[in-house]
Chains A and B, each alone.
Chain A
């Protein structure tokens, strides 16, 4: 099998794509945003609860999409749950660099992170948007 495909679809991606974690709506929540990829029609709704210490207490998503977009959203919720917002923002920046094949040094993510499995998306430039859809929704929710 082709290396590019194996890099793109690592077992953890296929697993989270088939069975996304934290799938649903956070109740209660105080932040939410919709993610949408107008090029392909994939979409998601992200909800999370930010407590008074600026910690993401709970975070969930619903939506439909390809394995990459579902797995990315699923892994994102796992990674961000319990994180302080400042840390989450650093992870967002790192992740965006990771999947867009940027040379910039990663500050908080490393090869041990499950999110690192999405690095293979860099070999498929047209799929980067699939991997970042949930993350842009997260970023948007912080701004609103």
Chain B
């Protein structure tokens, strides 16, 4: 194995699950961070500590525990605001998932700004979570959906995308980093939306932990991501929206915590961000996400990105040398994600075979069935990397792939 600074990050000890033995004897090699990232000790311990020492409901009582819980919850919001470089904490809405964030925008943006016959632009590489919420608008309200083509490289075809706009286009929603190809969205797509004055939502599920996010610099109007893919707990998501739009759109769900004043005749609604946070929120999970952001910041996002880029490039080159491997998505730069197939072996077989070698990878359609149909394949195997992975693991993986090929072609 080549010398590498990747070994110097020395963070494996922070992740207790990495010392687990798979099937009682194999070291775990976790290459499925794009599905969900593993959790560092600080996140595990701090969420534990929240329940043990500080837990109560938030923003409701006046007693000590309520204050301690509320402080932690709101402090997490500040951390997220800085993490995304949003202008204000009012632009950070906690949801249960990124999926909920997209549903929230689709429903409330439609209610305020759209009517039957209006158009939404999406693309062929979207995750189901950035398709189905918009399908609901099509099916319920007669909204028209248009889909930007992709190039063989896995990138959106910008000319085609540009050609889809009409005076009825009301919103655009695109993935910021493809969960299949690992390719980053071409910035031109965002500038086209700016030029045409159409709001754009970025699905940041894959980008939040693997690119440096600055929502102001990006110029997006909405940005969603999930806690569990950024080393935080599951059950917490973030919706960033500009204060202008979030102020104008109506509330999503009704309930406690999102009201101003209630009588039997009606209600007024709370100011941002509480307006969109009906019910008791996932407060401990929000705190855990804040701790996960601290964790990434302590290592340094630049270091994490450099580390992951190095592993991704190393793995890409290794896979590229193997004649029985087909890598999807051309020669584009990949950010921590590589999709591939072993010729004549279904991705399920690859994944089960690697599993008994202790290697966790994803197999399937990756919640991107329209894309798979477009590629003319049924499924792919996917490698995805996180802060804890190493070049040595890639070497072990490559050896296992050869064994796998041999086994199924015997």
The chain A residues found within 8 Å of chain B, CB to CB, are 1-2, 4-5, 8-9, 14, 39-42, 64-68, 124, 127, 130
Contact = CB atoms under 8 A, between A and B. Distances in A.
Given A9-B407, A65-B378, A40 B365 contact: yes
A67 B349 contact: yes
B379 A5 contact: no
Most chain B CB neighbours (cut-off 10 Å) among A8, A9, A40, A68? A40
Contacts of A64: 378
Contacts, number: 49
A1 B379 CA distance: 26
Contacts of B372: 41
Max count, chain A CB within 10 A of own CB: residue among B352, B378, B379, B410:
B352
A31 to B, nearest CB: 25
A40 B364 contact: yes
Contacts of A4: 23, 356
Nearest to B353: A5
Contacts of B355: 124
B363 interface: yes
B348 interface: yes
A66 B348 contact: yes
B78 interface: no
A14 B410 CA distance: 10
Interface residues of B, number: 20
A39 B357 CA distance: 23
B369 to A, nearest CB: 6
A2 B410 CA distance: 15
B377 to A, nearest CB: 9
Q: Which of A5, A41, A67 has the most CB of B within 10 A?
A: A41
B141 interface: no
B316 to A, nearest CB: 24
Nearest to B364: A40
Contacts of A124: 352, 355
A40 B348 contact: yes
B113 interface: no
Contact of B407 (A5, A39, A41, A66): A5
Contacts of B352: 5, 8, 124, 127
A8 B350 CA distance: 13
Given A4-B23, A66-B349, A67-B349, A41 B378 contact: yes
B346 A5 contact: no
A8 B407 CA distance: 12
